[in-house]
Amino acid sequence: MPSELTPSTLDRLKRRAARGRTRPASGGEAIRPRPRAADAPLSFAQQRLWFLHELYPDNFAHNIADAYRLRGPLNEICLRASLDAIARRHDVLRTTFATNAQDEVVQVVHEPQPCPLPVTEVPGVGPAERLATARQMARERVRRPFDLRRLPLWHAELLRLGADDHVLLLWFHHAIADRWSFGVLADELCAIYRATLAGEVPALGALPIQYADFAVWERQRFDRGALDPHLHYWRRQLAGVEPVALPFDHMRPAVRTFEGRQFCVHVPPAVVRRLTETARRHNATLFTVLAAGMAALLSRYSGQEDVAFGAAVSNRTRLELEPLVGLLVNMLVLRTDVSGNPSFSDLIRRVRETIMQAHEHRDVPFEKLVEILVPERDLSRPPLVNIGLTFFNLSGRGLAMPGIAVDPFQFDAGIAQLDIDVALTERDEQVTVDVSYAADLFDPATIERLFTSYSRLLEAAADDPSLSVAALPVVDDEHARELLAWGDAPAPEAPPLRPIHELFEQQAAATPHEVAVSCDERQLTYAELNSRANRVARCLRDAGIGPESVVGVYAGRSPEAIVACLAVLKAGGAYLPLDPEYPPERVARILADARASIAVVSGDVAGRLPAHVQTISAGDEEAGAHGGDDLAVSSAPGSLAYVVYTSGSTGEPKGVMVEHGGVVNLCWWMKHRAGLRPGEVTCWFGSPAFDISVMEIWPSLLAGARIDIIRDSRLAPHELQRRLIERGVTVAVFAVAVAEELLALDWPAAVPLRIVFTGADRLRRRPRPAIPFELVNNYGPTETTVLASSGRVDPHGSGFPRIGTPLWNTRLYVLDAHRQLVPEGVTGELYVAGAGVARGYLGRPDETAERFIDDPYGPPGARCYRTGDLVRWRNGELEFVGRSDDQVKLRGYRVELAEIESVLRRQPGIRDAAARVVQEEDGRARLVGYVVTADRAPADAAALLHALHQELPAFMVPSAIVELAEMPLTTTGKIDRARLPVPDEPQIHGPEPRDRAEAVVADVWARALGVSRIGVHDDFFELGGHSLLAMQAASQLRRELGVDIDVRSIFEYPTVEAFVSNVVAASRPVSKEGASL
């Protein structure tokens, strides 16, 4: 039915005007009209938008729009006249901004002019195509930038779909209007159009004040200290607040583009009614309940127990502000404590208290909070909060025009001012959740999953508010089944339920004359290896070794080491690999902790062991008298196979006990994945005390292949490459540090090497397409028998290589702090279950109970290992994120060191890179980058920092680059960050300016900051700079240097030296047009 101007709408307009004329404002004296001839300052909100306009010139980010579909006989002349009347009525719709002689930005109100109302025919065949075209046309128009120095700062246009079918599109720069202004505009347009159509004078009454009067009043109030108590509250309330760390799909760009997408979901009326009843029982509003649901959702998806988001509220709390069009919105930061896993009822109470306190202190403009609390600017993200939440109650509201059916016209403008901005609209017992999100950060599927979870969470909370936050469902049954299926990999071919040595004996019987082990010029066939191991095993039996006995193997990388390991297993014991390159004190501590009184040795290393340890030679000199036949010693898949020591949290190494069944499962998987069989050649290059040696030795021996032992672990990459080619190695296993060195080399087009498995650290490189072998990235703690997941690395992929899918007979779960499944894309801790889970830690029952727990999703009695590693699912593959106990934070931001290292590695001439956060003596933290060049040429630190600035947010750019000859590595091949050198303390005031340009910049900055002098290395923002001072400094530099400088350049290059070399030298002569009054 056509909509009419209702009596309630007309009454509302009259009440607004009457209250503004006759009643004092609430909360103090009324806002008075300013002298009309005087310049009006910008409001604080306008000032921030002016700053952003200067920071991101020619940007559409702060355009806002409203659109209506009008079906019926529309009088275009009356509509145009109505818009003219509204523009005459509201000065702000005729306002531009300018800089005066004092470098102050002021509002300039222009004389009324006719408002253009172009009418554009929408092309297309059929109504559906024309509607789609109209949405695209609306999007294109709203994305046109405004120039705040020039009229107009708003537009109106009619898009004609048919003779009596139009779309009225209104769009504004946010500096002159907010979304609550749309309600004022709709009411006034309705009243004026109706009166004009009837030939009457609209009964609106004069406005008591204009928006510029509010700006003057706001400034005066702040200057006299009226907001000081409120500022004190916000300083305390927001101390240490962090952005919500949601699961991004893409790395945050160095500079925001504001490109956005939209998503919409509806909360059904039945759920809204239950939520409203829940709100009533808790003496709260519906918005409070919806905000509590948002806090719970953000906590579940981010893993944070302290979540903060911004709630946009109308600042029309004073009577004289109600009828105004203008930027009268404020952002209240709602910081919610979700710790302790509260019930949803308790969370409602917490959020209600937070909202009440925020409203008590709402008079502080958000822009002042940003200026005071976020002195360091970051062009990559919004300040203070990255999530927004706004609530609109539109029941019975909207544009009404006589004889016209009016409906909202929805379209996606493709704009995102925050990472995620949520508009909750209550209309006729339904809540619509409209989401605008940063397209640079999120894929559509991620946002759909997130807000489908929000709707599901709200429904569960409405049904039972006593549920804890952890119990509120964010994963539905179908997705849970999908997650569990991704993490489950039953073996297509069941591995045999026999111990390692029996399977080796079976292989030795099948291929007795094949070479099992080669080392330089020495070789052992399968028959020889089996016979020698049997002889040593009998020596061990004579020495009292039996089931579960732990025996040291101290033979380095040698054929004797393999003989020794095999012999210990044949004797029924478990071998304890030791590296002769380790300090003797460490070897002694390990032997004592393992209670190993016997060790099998090779060569002259026996003298390095403690005197009480009995040694047995792996050579023929002692074992020759024994027979070489297989022993009749019973072992089972559950028998202990080996103990490997890893670094413990206490600083003391701890032994991981691994059973035969886990090793056999690994071997069977690798045999099929790598195509191992007789004739294949593998190599052993890793430390014998590192569990990767398990993967280098046993899969090959159980498949009939040959192991080529590379004894020199210090081979240069090109020497290792030559050795692999000369020895005909077809399958290799290397730690990441070694694999990445090999990937950096040039390779012949045809080599024997078919496949390289890598792991033990985060893989940061992808192979070039020309690399002639397949690269497989693996993940697995020692506690899961070397590997838990594996995946091929696509040379053409982007980002860090993923860690793949589970091994056979392995189950992987990604869980939150309450051991609930997290949705795809959300970071959680990885738990590993299945055949590879170790028995536990030797002699450490408490640590075993802490890390090896009941499998929450497996069969009764099953166990799983809690890895402490953070991962997330991506399309059925795991992506490694980092360690749960090693989060790096810098000045309130979570810093992903791997991203910095990846960008450094991509730079020309850089072979390897690392990063770390260094703590200074005064408590400050700074980020340092480390590089190793490919050709030993000196690294260009300035060029590297410039490249980082182009790709990374400012807070992720190191303060210094340190060049190293080699990257320090741990014994397991990982980067040893603790040994990365700390660079010299940066100068606080740096050297004096060295030329005129540096002198001018230093002088202008010093005057803006109120300091006596600035050195060329000093940071503008670390010395107290903020957005307003940056704007003033940029304006002054334009005049004094005579070049075109924008404020954004100060944020990108905040030191005098960087600013002059990167900005001043490249700037063009200044354009004076529109620069000042």
Per-residue model confidence as pLDDT tens digits over 841-887: 999 999 999 999 999 999 999 999 999 999 999 999 999 988 765 55
78: three-class secondary structure by DSSP: helix
pLDDT (tens digit per residue) in 276-293:
999 999 999 999 999 999
Would you kindly state where each structural domain of the chain is located, as residue ranges?
7-215, 888-986, 996-1064
Can you tell me the distance from the alpha carbon of 50 to that of 556, in angstroms, rounded to the nearest whole number? 68
* H or E, element range at 348: helix 344-360
This prediction's pTM: 0.79
Average pLDDT over residues 631-646: 92
Mean pLDDT of the chain: 89
Tell me if 439 sits within 8 A of 404, measured CB to CB: no
- The Cα–Cα gap between 285 and 958 comes to 46
As a whole number of angstroms, the distance between CA 1014 and CA 1004 comes to: 10
pLDDT at 1069: 61
Give the span between the Cα atoms of 480 and 499, in whole angstroms.
36
**Residue 986's pLDDT is what?**
45
Letter for the amino acid at 13? L
Q: Which two tokens stand for residue 187?
A: 């009411």
| pLDDT tens-digit map of 110-127 | 999 999 999 999 999 999
910-919, strands of its sheet edge to edge: 910-919, 925-933, 960-963
CATH class, range 888-986: alpha beta
CA-based nearest residue to 25, from 275, 262, 299, 214: 214
DSSP-based three-state secondary structure for 409: coil
3-state helix, strand, coil in the chain (%, to 5): 35, 25, 40
Yes or no: say if 640 and 691 are a contact pair by the CB < 8 Å rule: no
Residue type for position 901: E
pLDDT tens readout for residues 1017-1031: 787 876 767 776 887
Q: Is a pLDDT exceeding 70 seen at residue 489?
A: yes
> How many Å apart are CA 590 and CA 1001, to the nearest integer?
62
DSSP code string of 625-663: TS--SPP-----TTSEEEEEEE--TTSS-EEEEEEHHHH
The yes-or-no verdict on residue 896 having pLDDT over 80 is: no
Contact 215, 43 (CB under 8 A): yes
Helix (H, G, I), strand (E, B) or coil at 590: helix
Cα–Cα distance for residue pair 605/609, rounded to 1 Å: 8
What are 355's strand-pairing partners?
Answer: none
Compute the residue count for the chain.
1077
| Distance from C-alpha of 689 to C-alpha of 675, rounded to nearest angstrom | 26
In tens, the pLDDT along 38-97 reads: 789 999 999 999 988 988 888 899 999 999 999 999 999 999 999 999 999 999 999 999
Angle, vertex CA 546, rays to CA 542 and CA 550, nearest 5: 105
Q: What does 674-721 look like in DSSP terms, one character per residue?
A: HT--TT-EEEE-S-TTSTHHHHHHHHHHTTT-EEEE---TT--HHHHH
- b/e per residue 777-798 (b: at least 16 CB within 10 A): bbbbbbbbbbbbbbbebeeeee
pLDDT in tens, 395-437: 555 788 999 999 999 999 999 999 999 999 998 888 999 999 9
Among residues of the chain, what percentage have pLDDT more than 90?
A: 65
| Contact between 573 and 531 (Cβ < 8 Å) | no
Give pLDDT, residue 884.
Answer: 66
Task: Name residue 168's beta-bridge partners.
Answer: 68, 158
Q: Nearest Cα to 986, choosing from 1018, 943, 942?
A: 1018
Backbone angles phi, psi at 11, to 5 degrees: -60, -40
Q: Give the pairing of strands 306-314 and 387-393.
A: parallel
- Residue 539 phi/psi, 5-degree rounding, is -60, -40
8 has pLDDT over 60 = no
Question: What is the C-alpha to C-alpha distance for residues 813 and 501, in angstroms, rounded to an integer?
Answer: 32
CATH entry, 7-215, from 3.30.559.10, 3.40.50.620, 2.30.110.10, 3.20.20.80: 3.30.559.10
Other Cβ atoms less than 10 A from the Cβ of 451: the count is 21
Average pLDDT over residues 153-172: 97
Q: What is the pLDDT of residue 881?
A: 87
> What are the Cα distances from residue 254, in Å, to 600, 916, 1059?
57, 20, 17
Q: What pLDDT, on the 0 to 100 scale, is given for residue 1077?
A: 26
Q: How confident is the model at residue 820 (pLDDT cuts 50, 70, 90)?
A: very high
Q: Which residue has the tokens 């065949």?
A: 125
Reading the block at residue 783, the tokens are 């506690």
Instruction: Locate all alpha helices (DSSP H) within 120-178, ordered by sequence.
Output: 127-142
What is the Cα–Cα distance from 1031 to 1044, expressed in whole angstroms? 13
* Residue 617 CB contacts under 8 Å (≥ 6 apart), including other chains: 600, 601, 602, 606, 623
- C-alpha closest to that of 214 among 96, 107, 126: 107
Question: Rounded to the nearest 10 degrees, how much is the dihedral formed by the CA atoms of 1056, 1057, 1060, 1063?
Answer: -90
Strand partners, 267: 431
Conformational region of residue 787, where left means phi above 0, alpha means psi within -120 to 50, and beta covers everything else: beta
Under 8 Å between Cβ of 596 and 612? no
Residue of 185, 330, 104 whose CA lies nearest to 1028? 104
Tell me if residue 1030 falls in helix, strand or coil.
helix
Whether the CB-CB separation of 791 and 766 falls below 8 Å is answered with no
Q: HEC states along 916-981?
A: EEEECCCCCEEEEEEEEECCCCCCCHHHHHHHHHHHCCHHHCCCEEEECCCCCECCCCCECHHHCC
Indicate whether 991 pLDDT > 80: no
**Residue of 738, 368, 433, 711 lying closest to 557 (CA atoms):** 711
Q: How does 120-141 read in b/e, with b if 16+ C-beta sit within 10 Å? A: eebeeeeeeebbeebbebbeeb
- 532 compared with 1047, residue with greater pLDDT: 532
The mean-pLDDT minimum among 489-498, 518-527, 822-831 falls in 489-498
pLDDT digits (tens, 9 = 90+) for 457-479: 999 999 999 999 999 999 999 99
Among 18-22, 188-192, 233-237, 757-761, the range scoring the smallest mean pLDDT is 18-22
Residue 983 has pLDDT above 90, yes or no: no
Dist CA 432 CA 672 (whole Å): 52
Give 165's strand partners.
71, 162
Q: Which of 714, 793, 781, 783 has its CA nearest to residue 756?
A: 793
Contact 696, 871 (CB under 8 A): no
Angstrom distance (rounded) from CA 68 to CA 81: 18
Rounded Cα distance, 95 and 148, in Å:
9
Q: Which residues of 2-14 are buried (b: 16+ CB within 10 A; e: fewer)?
A: ebebeeebbebbe
Count how many Cα atoms sit within 13 Å of the Cα of residue 750 in the half-sphere of its side chain. 0
The CATH class that applies to domain 996-1064 reads mainly alpha
